[in-house]
Amino acid sequence: MTHSILVLTTGGTIDKAYFDALSEYQIVDSGIPALLREARVALPFRVVELMRKDSLELTDADRALIAGAAREAPEHRIVVTHGTDTMTQTAKVLAAEVPGKTVVLTGALSPARFAETDANFNLGMAFATAQVAGPGVWIAMSGEVFDGLKVKKDRAAGKFVAA
């Protein structure tokens, strides 16, 4: 059975867990399946963990793996959880390598395991965007949806802005 939405997890802040006061962290088992269960997502979905990396550590080979997984999947609507620092770089690769599908990247500026996190909202925005947006690559963050090729992260403001 083909699921309606494929969720590819790659790591990033959305899946970080902090273990001490010095802010040492590890990217642990993805919390995305639990978030989707808690949200009572009724739409069929499938979650595939591709890697557990901070996006600053992603290589061209990692981006090729993400693009290949999206391209080869039977689903035409795909959500990719990703670190925010290099999300736009991955968006460019996906736009070039995954034609004809709707791909939405999302992440978090604070970990999903924190009480005050944007992870739940961003993941919900990504699911909604994947259902209604046309083919192409999109970034859903902080209550906004951006063309994945016309956006940048404004580190000073702590948000994404149109480029």
- Walk me through the domains of the chain, giving residue ranges and CATH numbers: 5-162 (3.40.50.1170)
What is the DSSP-derived secondary structure letter of residue 67?
H
pLDDT tens, residue by residue, 72-89: 999 999 999 999 999 999
Give burial (CB, 10 Å; 0-12/13-18/19+) of 139.
buried
- Of 19-28, 124-133, 144-153, which gets the smallest average pLDDT? 19-28
- pLDDT category at 31 given cuts 50, 70, 90 is confident
**DSSP one-letter string for 74-141:** S-SEEEEE--STTHHHHHHHHHHH-TTSEEEEE--SS-TTSSS-SHHHHHHHHHHHHHHS-SEEEEEE
- Residue of 103, 93, 95 whose CA lies nearest to 73: 103
127/132 Cα distance (integer angstroms): 9
pLDDT at 59 exceeding the cut of 60: yes
pLDDT at site 11:
86
List, by residue number, the catalytic residues: 13
Residue 87's identity, in one-letter code, is M
**Mean pLDDT computed over every residue of the chain:** 88
How confident is the model at residue 1, as a pLDDT?
43
